[in-house]
Structure 1
Amino acid sequence: MLAGHFTTALIAKQKFPKGTLLYFLIISQLQDLLWFTFHYLGFERTDPSDAFDATLSNMAVDMLYSHDLAPLLFWLALAFIIGKLLFKSTKIGLVSMALVFVHFVLDFFSGHMHHLFGAGTMEAGLGLYASSTYLAIFIEAIFSVGALWYFFRGEAKKGIIRTTKNKVAIISVFAYGIVFMSLIATRSFRDLLSIPEFDLGFNTNMPTLIFTYSAMLFCLNYFVQKYKVN
């Protein structure tokens, strides 16, 4: 799941204002940020290497350390420690743990296959990106819509006023994520756009993913904080 994880950060900030939105956005994507890191360390290599060849259904990665169930226990503890130390709040530490755990739960239903600890161990996910890609995207879309509805409804109860333009901007960030995944669900950009084989050095898959995550994080951190209180 991509966009759906960010919605959990918006709700966390709404319910626990002592934490910062940027922090919640980052911690909600902790496992994916670890995946990017472990990829470059050579522990979780991701294929295909060329972004123009990549689709959700053909992307292959064994997320042994970042996403599997056994390491999750360590990341939960780490999230608690980071939240508690940064904000001097046990509550924020617990919320951080919850965001990391919810990330795993959402990936279970809409994401790559995860395991207990490695490909040869018990499966801990449905693996819908590979087996039923469009169903995985549909699940993420429904979750994102429901979470955003809950978020905006909670703001209205608190007297928070947003312009229509601001709401559209926030929703557009999530819509972009869903549309992007739908476009490359089973067909690559090379197939869709008849792009010839070439290598300019920057069309590799992982930098493209990192840019997408960073852009969504930046836009949400900017637009979500643009509001007035009645």
Structure 2
Amino acid sequence: MFIGHFAIGFAAKTAAPRVSLGTLFLAAQFIDLLWPTFLLMGLERVRIEPGATAVTPLVFEHYPWSHSLLAVLGWAALLAGLHFLLRRDRRSALILAGLVLSHWLLDLLVHRPDLPLWPWGGSVLGLRLWSSLLLTLALEVPLFMLGVWLYSRSTRALDGAGRWGLVGLVLFLFVVYAGNVLGSPPPSVEAIAWIGQLQWLLVLWAYWVDWHRRAVAPN
């Protein structure tokens, strides 16, 4: 799951018009923003195994601090709490918490049974949608298109940067997704971790786009 998470971030603008798209992306992708750093620190492990699933060659061996359900609930509470302290907006804080949790729920659909419920081991879950490329695309692509449509419908561009910056962001996400799904396996785990850090640039791009757009009231 990649563009599906960003889809939820786009769509959430309709429920949280005062929150920047950058912050919505940050929440929706939060645990995957943590994960590359935890890989570099040796706290979590992944293995490259071509053919492991029809969609990704990655085997997630150990990622309790970023992707266990209990940890995700903790990260959701932390991000929501920080937002509430800064903005005093309970509704938006709760939406951000829901976005963090949505990442785990979407991963639950596609992953093999490797998502732990708590950091110290035990039960793992996963519904294996990644075993079928067709089913994965049938879920993620329409979800992404819906999210982008909802965002574009609930905002309007103030200038060319707001209009074409959004187009560029959407196209770039599609290109990255196609590369992930159809491209060659990554050369190393270290490369995965460093490339994963570039996701922060997508968050900054979203902040820039949203700065050049304005939320509009629903019809």
Classify the TM-score, shorter chain. 0.7 to 0.9
2:207 corresponds in structure 1 to 221
1:179 corresponds in structure 2 to 178
1:150 corresponds in structure 2 to 150
Is the 1:81–1:93 Cα contact (8 Å) retained in structure 2? Answer: yes
Is the 1:128–1:136 Cα contact (8 Å) retained in structure 2? Answer: yes
1:124 corresponds in structure 2 to 125
Pairwise CA distance, 1:93: 1.7
Is the 2:13–2:154 Cα contact (8 Å) retained in structure 1? Answer: no
1:188 corresponds in structure 2 to 185
Take 1:119 and 1:58, find their aligned partners in 2: how far apart are those partners? Answer: 25
Q: From the CA coordinates, give the structure whose radius of gyration is larger.
A: 1
* Equivalent residue letter for 1:208: I
Take 2:107 and 2:32, find their aligned partners in 1: how far apart are those partners? Answer: 11
Take 1:207 and 1:93, find their aligned partners in 2: how far apart are those partners? Answer: 30
2:76 corresponds in structure 1 to 76
> Cα distance 1:84–1:173, how it changes in 2: closer, same or farther (>3 A)?
same
What is the 5 A alignment of 1:24-63? 24-48=24-48, 57-61=56-60, 62-63=62-63
Identity %: 22
Take 2:202 and 2:178, find their aligned partners in 1: how far apart are those partners? Answer: 13
Q: Point out the more displaced range, 120-129 or 79-88.
A: 120-129
Take 1:174 and 1:119, find their aligned partners in 2: how far apart are those partners? Answer: 34
Task: Pick the structure with more strand per residue.
Answer: 2
Take 1:76 and 1:178, find their aligned partners in 2: how far apart are those partners? Answer: 25
Is the 1:69–1:115 Cα contact (8 Å) retained in structure 2? Answer: yes
Take 2:139 and 2:6, find their aligned partners in 1: how far apart are those partners? Answer: 15
Deviation by residue 1:118-148 (Cα, 9 ceiling, x = unmatched): 696333322433x334532442212101211
Deviation by residue 1:180-211 (Cα, 9 ceiling, x = unmatched): 22223xx4367xxxxxxxx9xx9722112222
Take 2:119 and 2:190, find their aligned partners in 1: how far apart are those partners? Answer: 29
* Equivalent residue letter for 1:177: V
Take 1:203 and 1:74, find their aligned partners in 2: how far apart are those partners? Answer: 27
Q: Which TM-score applies when normalising by structure 1?
A: 0.74
Take 2:214 and 2:96, find their aligned partners in 1: how far apart are those partners? Answer: 27
Pairwise CA distance, 1:217: 2.5
Pairwise CA distance, 1:172: 0.7
> Cα distance 1:228–1:34, how it changes in 2: closer, same or farther (>3 A)?
closer
* Equivalent residue letter for 2:202: M
Is the 2:186–2:192 Cα contact (8 Å) retained in structure 1? Answer: no
Take 2:38 and 2:20, find their aligned partners in 1: how far apart are those partners? Answer: 26
1:46 alignment partner, SS class: strand
1:194 corresponds in structure 2 to none
Aligned with residue 210 of structure 1, among 186, 197, 201: 197
Is the 1:69–1:116 Cα contact (8 Å) retained in structure 2? Answer: yes
Q: Which has the higher contact order (CA 8 A, sep 6+)?
A: 2
> Cα distance 1:92–1:132, how it changes in 2: closer, same or farther (>3 A)?
same
CA-based RMSD of the aligned residues comes to 3.2
Pairwise CA distance, 1:80: 2.2
> Cα distance 1:138–1:219, how it changes in 2: closer, same or farther (>3 A)?
farther
Take 1:13 and 1:150, find their aligned partners in 2: how far apart are those partners? Answer: 8
Q: How many residues align?
A: 207
Is the 1:19–1:87 Cα contact (8 Å) retained in structure 2? Answer: no
Take 2:90 and 2:174, find their aligned partners in 1: how far apart are those partners? Answer: 34
Q: Which TM-score applies when normalising by structure 2?
A: 0.77
Pairwise CA distance, 1:84: 0.8
